[in-house]
Amino acid sequence: MPDLIIDGRPVRVPKGTPVIAAAESLGIVIPRFCWHPALGAAGACRMCAVMFLDGPVKGLEMSCMVPAADGMVVETFHPEAVTFRRRVVELLMANHPHDCPVCDEGGHCLLQDETISGGHALRRFPGRKRTYLDQDLGPFIQHEMNRCIHCYRCARFYQEYCGYLDFGPMQNANRVYFGRFASGPLESPFSGNLADICPTGTLTDKPGRYKSRRWDCQRAPSVCPHCSLGCATVALSRYREVVRVEARENPAVNGHFICDRGRYSFGYAASAERPRQARADGVPTSMSTALALAGTRLGGVVEAFGPEAVAVVGSARSSLETQTALTALARAGGWRGPAFFADRTEQQAVAAALAALAGGRARSLAEIGQADAVLCLGVSPLHDAPMLALSLRQAARAGAVVAVADPRPATLPLPFTHLPLAPDKLPGAAALLTGAEAADAAAIQRALPLSPELWPALERLAPAFAAAGNPVLVFAPALAAQAPADARFGLFPVLCGPNAAGAALVADADAPACDDLARAIEAGEVKGLVLAEADAAALSPRLAAALPGLETLVVLDHLPTPSFAAAKVFLPTQTLFESGGTLCNNEARLQYAAPVAPPGEPVSRDGRGGHPPRDYARKLPGTDPLPAAALCAVLALEMGLDMPALSFAAFTGVGPEDVAPEGTRATRLPAAPTAPAPPSAPPGQGLVVVRDDALFATDAYGRYAPLARAQAPAASVVRLHPDDAAGLGLADGEALTVTVGDRRIEATLAVSAAVARGAAVVPRLPGWAGLPAAIGPETLRRRQP
Amino acid sequence: MEEKKDKTGLLREVLDGAAGLAGSYAATLTHLFRRPVTEQYPEYKRPMPARTRGRIILTRSPDGKERCVACYLCSGACPVNCISMQSEEGPDGRRRAAWFRINFARCIYCGLCEEACPTLALQLTPEFAFCKDAIEDFVYEKEDLLVDHGGKDPDYDFYAHAGVAAGRPKGEHIGEDEPVDVKSILP
């Protein structure tokens, strides 16, 4: 722990800390372009020069390159250092295109800040400016190479930190160029971070191009709702529209970065299809009329059939506030529910996954980056939780062994072993790798007799996992029973929605699931249903099929789901950006997303792209939606119910006032319920259906975000192992017709040895939700031309 | 001795007073025969200096294109928030205002927007008198603000200097080298 003095103030920092970081811990921000806390030092920009007056290093040195040492006396405002930095800025500006007015970085540009604070105002260099041609880097990043100052941040992030190689530095000397060999979309699913880390306007955000200046935006800390990890984000909104989402630093969760799914799927909130007006029997009406009608209809059902005839369904994408309000509403009325999960097994699985985290075994994303062995069991990191892949990459860079046991093909930007195993084989594989003793060859062959191609890999992995001091098991909730008793293993469940953990905490252990409610509707026991921010079609196909049997269906939502179309009474709700809310992530960490966008139709649509209307006295269009929790309270009032004052503290042990900025772990976890039975082999000959997420547009919100939808593959793909494809007489690339219930879906077949034998990998889209657990040749058919 | 002094002092004061009165009456009398300096506004409109701060216009560059790039600096500088706009990319790749609005009912004609404008698009003109019957009519849109000349700086063209490829390819702006060939290893 070196002690040093910076600008006359003593500071003690951990060994190895560069002086620039030591100064930052005192609140002294030394100017920098190339140094970044997550990327380390490159010494490329020469901007962080400070004067070392005493100690092991003396003279003018780069503070990012010198590790703090005992006895150092550093002066950041030494006249020599200030002059040096001023000249560095002038040199960096010698080739600058002077286009700040048309540059999107203007207003939050590090180069602009340093140039102005250094006092450089007039170009003294008489020579000509170096120029570069730009490339088209795809839909997310705008390239403007003339603005580059060659700090190498982009290349270090893209290649070293993320592990993708299609973008990087080229040429030499004064001609260094950052780009791709040829124009084309960036391959990395983390490419959006380039716009955040670039200290100039070289790489800027393309979807937000020419939309706004930073100073005009309302900004608030938010939480990403596009997978269960709950990465910290900053949402920027202007003219009643979220224009950009950026990464926010949360050292315990996502570090400094977020994935492209989280960054570019915000469009659902301002989408033209978003329902913003209440409806009664499909006819637009006022909020008060719809609320009164919902009260009357539900009251009628209660009067005729009793309170048990009304049920409430919530979902894993609502905030804890909404889930709590639904519970309070259901309790006040004596109604059934709320149901948050498709079936009882899923609910028990998520509860079991959370219960396993008790006793300090939960690991955060940051801690996965420090693990020395990670087994992903039934989890495809890049698709189920993209930022997990980045943490695995950091672990692998530090020498960790990474294995992914999952039936779906896995691509990761790191050296890892993929064990493509059907779901019923996963518990066996987990037992081989999570035991205290390394499994020997005989045990491996006994456990997986039909997968000889995996034996060598398992024989290599088993001793590495047995010897690991800090291994982590990343698992899908269905495999919660495989969480090893060995306390060495940290646990990291990956769940099925941004607030799935919250739903599992809020739901009663004996609460009905959607399938139970569907059964009750079919039996005529339930006549009225309240669907709050839940899509029956995506949640439970059986429930969706049972909806016509209801007397009344009240839907509260902000997404244009099929359930919205089926609603008898529709009440629009606000999004997370408008109402704010608390989400509980996969490691039971509660995080608060602050409201950022004012409600209402975006100005861009209100003015049809041109001048906004000049009628200042009118009511703003699209301001009807209310927070779902508030709607629950009003609905209770309409029906004369006495809604109990309930806080989510009752379910999580952490109240709204206790949620820290970096998140607070729930203190009340489910008492270890009966762990779900491990997945078993399907009866008969069929292929087990395994659902796969894509990076974009398969999560509940991304499906309704225009930009994310534009990135989704045009055709649905079914993936099979070569043996299974041969068994069905199908070849790679063939056009298929998949029969789901009474509908037919067109898809193409992709055959790959990276798919587990006996598994059929299909996209996780609502249209595919009706597939049975196992399918055969009668479902997968060659498309007749 | 003292009395005599007092008498002469009194006499001088009376004479001085009379001279002062006569002088000012003389000045008034001479003005009776001069041409009046009062200008009969609005019958006569005095030509104002070019830098007088009056109604705002959006000018054009020498090639006739809109100078405004909707950079938001004027609206950022405006102390009374009377300027609002939305930027967009035009068909020629130039950044421009999709809409641009100045509320002259709120404008205080301080000229900070003109100082902030990096492309010399926004300029204040000497026109200061433009009354309206309804206050909403003071809200000027882009069509009302755009003029077809360069205002006080007719020769300046921002896009001739800024090194972005909007209309003019890279390397052809003032003071620029040919673009670097990233695939050549020649020195």
> For the residues A426-454, what does the mean pLDDT come to?
91
Q: Is B17 on the interface with A (CB under 8 A)?
A: no
Predicted pLDDT at A617: 85
Among B119, B141, B170, select the one facing A131 at the smallest CB separation: B170
CATH class, A3-91 region: alpha beta
Instruction: Establish if B99 touches chain A: CB-CB under 8 angstroms.
Output: yes
Please give the pLDDT value at position A670. Answer: 86
- Site of tokens 């997550």: A38
Of the candidates B117, B186, B178, B187, the one whose C-alpha atom is nearest the C-alpha of residue B145 is: B117
Instruction: Identify the residue among A116, A143, A200, A210 best suited for mutation to test binding to B, counting B beta carbons within 10 A and taking the highest.
Output: A210
For the segment B56-84, the average pLDDT, to the nearest whole number, is 96
Q: Please answer yes or no on whether A144 and B178 come within 8 Å at the CB atom.
A: no
* pLDDT value of residue B185: 80
Examine the pLDDT at B1 and tell me if it is beyond 80.
no
| Confidence (pLDDT) at B166 | 86
pLDDT > 70 fraction of chain B, expressed in percent and rounded: 97
Residue in chain B nearest A147 by alpha carbon: B163
Identify the closest residue of chain B to A603 by CA–CA distance. Answer: B86
Which of A93, A96, A102 should one mutate to test binding to chain B, selecting the residue with the greatest count of B CBs within 10 A?
Answer: A102
pTM score? 0.92
pLDDT digits (tens, 9 = 90+) for A77-95: 999 999 999 999 999 999 9
**Strand, coil or helix: A497:** coil
Q: Does B116 touch chain A (CB under 8 A)?
A: no
Q: What percent of chain A has pLDDT over 70?
A: 99
Q: Which element (helix H / strand E) includes A750? A: strand A743-751
Average pLDDT over residues A123-142: 95
pLDDT of residue A675: 67
Question: Which chain A positions have a beta carbon within 8 Å of B171's beta carbon?
Answer: 131
Q: Which residue has the higher pLDDT, A137 or A485?
A: A137
Question: What is the DSSP secondary-structure string of A387-442?
Answer: HHHHHHHHHHHTT-EEEEE-SS----SS--EEE---GGGHHHHHHHHHSSSPPPHH
pLDDT digits (tens, 9 = 90+) for A485-528: 888 999 999 999 999 999 999 998 888 999 999 999 999 999 99
Across chain A, what does the average pLDDT equal?
93
User: How many angstroms separate the Cα of A224 from the Cα of each of A242, A262, A371, A583?
Assistant: 13, 6, 24, 9
Whether A128 sits inside 8 A of B175 (CB atoms) is yes
Task: Render pLDDT for A187-215 as a digit per residue (tens, 0 to 9).
Answer: 999 999 999 999 999 999 999 999 999 99
pLDDT in tens, A103-127: 999 999 999 999 999 999 999 999 9
> Could you tell me the end-to-end alpha-carbon distance of chain A, in angstroms, rounded to an integer?
73
- Residue B150 CA to residue B142 CA, distance in Å, equals 16
pLDDT in tens, A698-743: 899 999 999 999 998 878 899 999 999 999 999 999 999 998 878 8
Give the pLDDT band (50/70/90) at residue A281. Answer: very high
Q: Are B137 and B130 in contact (CB under 8 A)?
A: no
- The span from the CA of A263 to the CA of A246, in Å, is 6
Question: How is domain A365-495 classified at the architecture level of CATH?
Answer: 3-Layer(aba) Sandwich (3.40)
Instruction: Check the CA dihedral B100-B101-B104-B108 and report its sign.
Output: negative
Contacts of A213 in chain B (CB under 8 A): 71-72, 76
How is residue A627 written in tokens?
Answer: 């927070």
Write the pLDDT tens digit of every residue in A555-613. Answer: 999 999 999 999 999 999 999 999 999 999 999 999 999 999 988 999 999 888 888 88
As a CATH number, domain A687-782 is 2.40.40.20
CB-based contact, A748 to chain B, within 8 Å? no
Is residue A785 over pLDDT 80?
Answer: no
CB contact under 8 A, A210 and B95: yes
pLDDT at A50 over 90: yes
Q: Which of B67, B86, B144, B170 to mutate to test the interface with A (most CBs of A within 10 A)?
A: B86
For B164, which of A99, A179, A216 is closest by C-beta distance?
A: A99
- B59 pLDDT above the threshold of 60: yes
Is A129 in contact with B163 (Cβ distance < 8 A)?
yes
Give me the pLDDT at residue B4, please.
56
Residue B93 has pLDDT above 60, yes or no: yes
Confidence of residue A378 (pLDDT cuts 50, 70, 90): very high
What's the pLDDT tens digit per position in A645-689? Answer: 899 999 999 999 999 999 999 999 888 766 677 777 766 678 999
Q: Which residues share a beta bridge with A284?
A: A279
CB of A168 within 8 A of CB of A181? no
Nearest neighbour of A132 by CB, restricted to B75, B170, B175: B170
DSSP state of A756: P
Q: Is A300 exposed, middle or buried (0-12, 13-18, 19+ CB in 10 A)?
A: middle
Question: Where in chain A are the domains?
Answer: 3-91, 279-348+501-593+620-665, 365-495, 687-782
Instruction: Please compute the mean of the pLDDT values over residues A764-773 and round it to a whole number.
Output: 84
Helices (H) and strands (E) in chain B, counts: 5, 6
A98 part of contact set with chain B, CB < 8 Å: yes
What pLDDT was estimated at residue B38? 87
Interface test with B, best of A96, A131, A606 (most B CBs within 10 A): A131
CB contact under 8 A, B164 and A146: yes
Residues in Cβ contact with A24 at an 8 Å cutoff, skipping those fewer than 6 apart: A30
Residues of A in contact with B118 (CB under 8 A): 100-101
Does A216 lie at the interface with B, CB-CB under 8 angstroms?
Answer: yes
- Quickly count: other Cβ atoms within 10 Å of residue A91's Cβ: 12
Q: A residues 596-625 near B, CB within 8 Å?
A: 603-604, 607, 609-612, 614
Residue A276, judged by CB atoms within 10 A of its CB (0-12, 13-18, 19+), counts as: middle
> Which fold would CATH assign to domain A279-348+501-593+620-665?
Rossmann fold (3.40.50)
